Every structure is written in structure tokens, then in C-alpha cells.
Structure 1
């Protein structure tokens, strides 16, 4: 049994050597596919957020924490806002960004190779005014000092559209372009009469102004009409007491108009990262809020930018199957390797036909190499002559004995033992020829 195990072990070793070239080719194909055909997702990327103390900045930190759980480092890039973020995407300065709806349209988005990962939350238009202004309609804003923020925020573009449907032009107002925090200080100091934000209610400045005496929120009583004139807007209601039930803040329901915040990337953003961001969005925005029901966001709706194929699949089917049971990177590896399964099968079929002959040749070569030495002994036998004939014959017999000892120490699988025994019979045949050589010479 020990010899049988020995033969079997040698057979496995030879088999591995025989299939070695095939394994090397397959490994090379997998390596090429891993690096070139379907590259791994990057471990670092840039997310363009917004101004200091904005909702974009707050949510950006949450996305950073969620993706860090899977070893993806997200660098947050502060910006002026949606318009600035859109420009950073187009210039390649950011990989992904928060962008407010209404900043572009479907045709422009397709020309610019932009894709949406879905809408995340509503961003109501917050028009905060000092109490002494007594403004009840937007037409009464004429001549007032209103801050819309820098052009890169997207608010100036949005509010100009709102003014336009009211028959106003920006020249009818004294517009300033302070950033959010300085504008808030200017409103409290009385240097401006009002300011406009377009932000989620989680923004710290929104929370503060809703509770600041001497400042009130403008009520868009015609909110439903705005949504008909500007389809990217929706009508939301700030419920009475939502800020502080005990102090009854606010003291009434407020009707607001709201675009939505969307997550936007360039075409070609890695599919695995799209899945990660949409899953993170579900964790961050999937609950109930001031203006949303549980499960309302994230959503493929409320965005004029075409939704990425992978994001749309997630909204239909949920997280990818492998990612439900494996870590992100392991699931991503197996998912990407499907790309090379079919080519590998096509490669293995012809290569598998080479392995059996190669295996047989390797085993038999262990026997056949002694035939070369046996043939050399026979050729030397033909050259034996003269006075040193007996010495030469004795040397040939020693060579045959050496060959036989080596052959006896050669191990081959049992299936090839017939070749080994055949070799030993041939050695015996040549030995008999050598031994008969003196008799043959004497009779002659």
C-alpha cells in the first residue's frame, strides 16, 4: 500500500506539472481582466458638498462615514453650492456632487455625460424676512434688500425663475450675494431685509432662523400654482409646531415650494460605487422627515438628469445579491470576474485537450530516457574488438547493471507499469547479447 500511495503521489505531481501552463494562462487572463477589462473601484474619491453650515455639508459628512465602513475614503470638497458643484463635475474636479433640481435639463445632462443616482431630499425655498417688512406676496419685495447668495449656489438662478413667474426682474430688488453665514449675520444686524436659502431643514442656519425673534418665514400660499409653472418644484408643508411643539414653533402651517437635491456623477462613474452611494443614501435619507414619508427617498423620481442604470436597478431590486451576504470588496471581486467566465471557458476547452497527451508524455519520458543509454550500449557492442575485447565487454555489463539499478528506482503510476517492465526485459535482452559475444567470437 505504501508503494501504491507513492505512485499515486507521483501521478498527482506530474498532473499538476502537465496542467501548469494552462493554469498560468488562466491566471494571466484573470489578472488582465482584474486590472484592465473591469478595473476595481477606486478607494478614494471627491464629493463636492456646499457652503459651511449647509445641509450639503452635514450630509456629506454622513456619506463620508458610511463609505468609510467599506474602506472607501471620501474627501469632502466645500463649494458655493449646486451650480458650482455642477461646474466642478464637468471640469473633473469632483467625482460626485450634490446638485439641486432645475440646474440643467435632460438634453443638457445627456450632452454633458451626467447621470443621476436619484433624488435625496426636498430643499424648500426658505425666504426669511425681518418682521418690519410686512411682505405678504413676492411682488412686495420691490426695492427691498434681499440676499440670494453667490451665483455658484444655484439659488440666484432658482429665485430669478420664481420672480419671473411673478412678473418681476432681478433689477426690481436690491440683490446681494453674501454667503450663507455672513448673510444671516447681516439679516440679524438689519443690513439686509431678507435672505433666500434653498436647503434641507437639517441645515443649522435654518434651524436657528426658524426660532429667531424678529425674523419670520415667508408663506408661499400659491405653492401649488408654482409647481404647475415650474415642474421641477413640489409643494410641501412645514407643519405647525414641527420645530418645537412645546413653544408652538412655528405657530402655523407654512406652504413652501421645493426643488429636490440629487446626487450627480459623470458617465463612467464606477458601477460598484454607484451601488455604495445609493445604499448609503437609503440609510441616510430613507427615514421620515419634516417633508417626507418613510421610504419616499432616495428615489429615481424628481430629477431631470437621467438615472444611472445601476441606480435604477437598485431602486427596482434592492442591493446586489452578493453584497447582501459578503463584504463589499469580496462581492465586487466575484461580480467583476463574471466578465471573464465565458472567455475562460473558451480558452479552457482547447487547452484541456493538450493536458492528457502532455501528462502521458511526461510519465513515459521517465522510462524512454533510459532507452537512449541502452541504445548507446548496443552501439558500443558493435565496436568491441581487439585485445581489450574482454575488458570492453565487462565495462558494458557494468553499464547495463547501472542502467537496471536506476530503472528499478524509477517510479511511475501503475497505469504505466507495463512500459517499465518492457524496458527491464529489453535490458535483459541486451545483457544476453553482451554475454554471448565471447562465444560468438570463439565459434567464428
Structure 2
């Protein structure tokens, strides 16, 4: 039975030899495609947020919570604010992957070739100028000689507010500008040691909420807000409606006009596209609701940013989340979305291989039979035109050689579908043997 099976089974060895190079090519293509599409995003990302008790810090925690649901750990790194965040992103030795940056912090030409992309504008950040009630200031030109804290240089506020002062004909040297961080500056204001302070933040920042409700502290009304938007394109005109802080206490007692840049999510351009998708989806969840200064769905948006928008983010704003991510878990959806490239590469490779491998297999099996025809032909050539004096030596020698060939041919293992070629070879061996024997007979 084992001997019979040798001649009935599929020749796995020949198939492996025939398909081996193709299999290696397929593996190489798969590995190369996997490396190129990079389907698995890193499970950890570093986000540069903001100061303690700032809106950036609070919102950074929200992003960490949303991405944690998909197994992504967001490490929050505190900073002084927008300017420091931007510097960290520009610094190639920094470990920061993504950060909050305020519009107006830089010009588009300054970012050329810096490898940064925007994931969209998230919300407006009004310029909040809080003053003590005792200072009856209605125009910014009246700030001359007052102590106003604008924050540390790492924030975007100092440069922003200096532009505003300059537009009002006030030189920075004419105002005593402080550089305290937000929390100690608030303490100084409440203690009466400074006359005012400037924030640029979303309204849900704890310090903003507190100061809006603190007696003796008044929010400056930018009555010329619309004019500022014409002079500075990165500003928008927003209105803090009467009573929105506290309806019962009617805070504020009237509409307050404010000027507002926008907060932008900026990342390095090598941030994994899957992480870009997650951050933009998180931004839509966190910032998509209506707020004090925005309608539902107004943010996030690809507008109001000097930084080029990431192609993945732009695709989200146009088409919404990827189709598979609407129905499958993030990791599985991301794998299928990105590995389709491998499927296409395999299809392009397997189609021609499916036509090449079967003939190679047939050739490999038949070659085990056909190579003996070379030996048989050599025997025939050896007995051609043999001189009479050497015939007694040559003919027996070739007859012995034929016997050895036949013995080795009988040990060939070959699938039954090719048995006709094996039996044909054996009959041809007998044909040559008979010819040799006929030549050995005396005339």
C-alpha cells in the first residue's frame, strides 16, 4: 500500500519547488505593503496643553478621556500657552506630537517647511480683559500707566495684546505689562495689586467663570470689535449675551462685544493618519455642541487657521468619519481601511502567478522523467559507428549502463496523472536495449 500511495498522491515537493519563489514574492510584497501603509497607530501620543486652570488644560483632559475609549493614551504636557506649544512642535528634538495653538500666533510663511499640519479650528478664544471696577476704562487708550498682566511670553496673549494696543496708538512701554501666569495674576487682581489682566481663552476655563461672577471685577467691552476683524483677519467678532453667565443675577447686565482668535489643533505631519482621524472625531464630539459663541456644528472646522490642514482631517470635514469606523471598533476598522492596499497588491500579484505556477508544476514533475532521455540519447550515440575491434567492449558496457538507468527510473515517484510519461520512458529504454542486443548478435 505505501508503494501504491507513492504513485497516487499529489507531489507536494514539486509543488513547493514550483511555487516557492512566488510564495517568497508574496511574503515580501505583504511585508512591504504593511510597512508602507503602517496600519497600526502608536498607542501613546503626547499633547502639549496649557497652564493650570486654563481652558487648554481642561480640554486636553477631555481629549485624553475620549481617546482612552479606543485604547490610545494621551500624555498631557503642561505649557505656558500657544507660543510655547508652537515652539515645541517646531523643535524636532521635542517629544510633542500635537498641541493647541492660537490663530494669529504666527504667519503662514513662517510655517513653510516646518512639517506642521492643522487638524482644524476648535473654538473661539475671546480676548478677556478684566479690570477693577474702580478703573472706569471704556477705551484701550485709557490703559496708559495701568498695571495689566498679559501672561508669560510662552503664551499667545502678549503678542496678540500688543498688536491690539498698537492699533489704539498705545506703545507697550506706556502700559505696565505683567508676565505672571494666569492663576497668580488672578490672585494679584483680586488683591488689588494690579489693575487688570488679559486672558485669551474659551469661556469654560475655571478662572474665566470665576472672574465673570466676582463683584468688583468688570469685563471690558470691545465696542469696536467689528472694526478689529477688518484690521486683523484672525479675529472674529463675538458677543457675550446678557444674562448668559447667570440668569438670576443678570450677569452680564448687558451684551458684551469681544474680539476672538480661534484655538487650533496643530500636529506634526508624520502623526499617524488613524490618530488624526481619532483626534478630529474627538474634536467633533467635544466642540460640536452649541456654546456661548457658537452654533451647533459650527466647530470644529477647517477654516480660521494659518496652518495647512491635514488631508485626513480635510477628508473628515467633507465626508464625515470613515465608513467602517461607523460600524466597527476603531482598531478593526483601521486595519481593514488601511490593509486594502495589501489586498490590491496581492490580487495584482496572484493573478499572473495563478497562470504561471501550474505550468511550472507540470514542468517540474515531467523534468524528473525527461532528464533521463538525455542519458538514453547518450547510450544511442555511444553505440553509433563503433569500430569492429571495440564492439565487444562498448556494447556490453552500454547494456550495463541501460540496466542502471532502468533501475533508477523504476525508483522515480511520480503522480498517476503523469504515469504515461514514466511508462513511455521505460518502453524507450527497452527499445534501446533491444537495439544493443541486436548489434551484439554475430552476423
TM-score between both structures, scaled by the size of structure 1: 0.82
Alpha-carbon separation, structure 2, partners of 1:6 and 1:286: 71
Alpha-carbon separation, structure 1, partners of 2:9 and 2:411: 20
Equivalent in the alignment of 2:296: 294
Kindly tell me: are residues 14 and 139 of structure 1, through their superposed partners in 2, closer, same or farther at Cα, counting changes over 3 Å? same
Could you tell me whether the CA contact under 8 Å between 1:45 and 1:75 is conserved in 2? yes
Kindly tell me: are residues 9 and 335 of structure 1, through their superposed partners in 2, closer, same or farther at Cα, counting changes over 3 Å? farther
Correspondence for 2:135 among 124, 133, 136 = 133
Alpha-carbon separation, structure 2, partners of 1:8 and 1:45: 59
Equivalent in the alignment of 1:157: 159
Correspondence for 2:146 among 128, 144, 147 = 144
Deviation at 1:91, TM superposition (A): 0.7
Secondary structure of the residue that 1:363 maps to in structure 2?
Answer: helix
Alpha-carbon separation, structure 1, partners of 2:206 and 2:369: 85
Aligned pairs (5 A) from 1:14-93: 14-15=14-15, 17-36=17-36, 41-92=41-92, 93=94
Equivalent in the alignment of 2:384: none
Kindly tell me: are residues 80 and 4 of structure 1, through their superposed partners in 2, closer, same or farther at Cα, counting changes over 3 Å? farther
Alpha-carbon separation, structure 2, partners of 1:26 and 1:314: 33
Could you tell me whether the CA contact under 8 Å between 1:81 and 1:153 is conserved in 2? yes
Alpha-carbon separation, structure 2, partners of 1:120 and 1:376: 85
CA-to-aligned-CA distance 1:274-312 (integer Å, 9 cap, x gap): 222211111111111111111000001112222222222
Correspondence for 1:285 among 284, 287, 299 = 287
CA-to-aligned-CA distance 1:59-105 (integer Å, 9 cap, x gap): 11122222233333322111110111111111132222111011112
Correspondence for 1:171 among 166, 170, 173 = 173
With 71-80 and 29-38 compared, the bigger mean Cα shift is at 29-38
Correspondence for 2:319 among 304, 312, 317 = 317
RMSD: 3.9
Alpha-carbon separation, structure 1, partners of 2:339 and 2:416: 37
Kindly tell me: are residues 423 and 226 of structure 1, through their superposed partners in 2, closer, same or farther at Cα, counting changes over 3 Å? same
Kindly tell me: are residues 194 and 366 of structure 1, through their superposed partners in 2, closer, same or farther at Cα, counting changes over 3 Å? same
Point out where structure 1 has 5 or more consecutive residues left out of the alignment. Answer: 379-384, 390-394
Correspondence for 1:362 among 364, 389, 392 = 364
Deviation at 1:10, TM superposition (A): 1.6
Count of aligned positions: 432
Point out where structure 2 has 5 or more consecutive residues left out of the alignment. Answer: 381-391
Alpha-carbon separation, structure 2, partners of 1:310 and 1:79: 27
Equivalent in the alignment of 2:110: 108
Secondary structure of the residue that 1:133 maps to in structure 2?
Answer: coil
Aligned pairs (5 A) from 1:329-340: 329-337=331-339
Equivalent in the alignment of 2:232: 230
Equivalent in the alignment of 1:412: 415
Could you tell me whether the CA contact under 8 Å between 2:6 and 2:415 is conserved in 1? no
Deviation at 1:413, TM superposition (A): 4.8
Equivalent in the alignment of 2:387: none
Could you tell me whether the CA contact under 8 Å between 1:109 and 1:115 is conserved in 2? no
Could you tell me whether the CA contact under 8 Å between 1:238 and 1:290 is conserved in 2? yes
Could you tell me whether the CA contact under 8 Å between 2:118 and 2:266 is conserved in 1? yes
Alpha-carbon separation, structure 2, partners of 1:180 and 1:295: 30
Kindly tell me: are residues 221 and 346 of structure 1, through their superposed partners in 2, closer, same or farther at Cα, counting changes over 3 Å? same
Kindly tell me: are residues 397 and 102 of structure 1, through their superposed partners in 2, closer, same or farther at Cα, counting changes over 3 Å? closer
Alpha-carbon separation, structure 2, partners of 1:142 and 1:8: 102
Correspondence for 2:123 among 96, 121, 132 = 121
Secondary structure of the residue that 2:112 maps to in structure 1?
Answer: helix
Kindly tell me: are residues 125 and 56 of structure 1, through their superposed partners in 2, closer, same or farther at Cα, counting changes over 3 Å? same
With 160-169 and 235-244 compared, the bigger mean Cα shift is at 235-244
Deviation at 1:50, TM superposition (A): 0.7
Could you tell me whether the CA contact under 8 Å between 2:54 and 2:207 is conserved in 1? yes
With 422-431 and 164-173 compared, the bigger mean Cα shift is at 422-431
Kindly tell me: are residues 198 and 316 of structure 1, through their superposed partners in 2, closer, same or farther at Cα, counting changes over 3 Å? same
Deviation at 1:44, TM superposition (A): 2.9
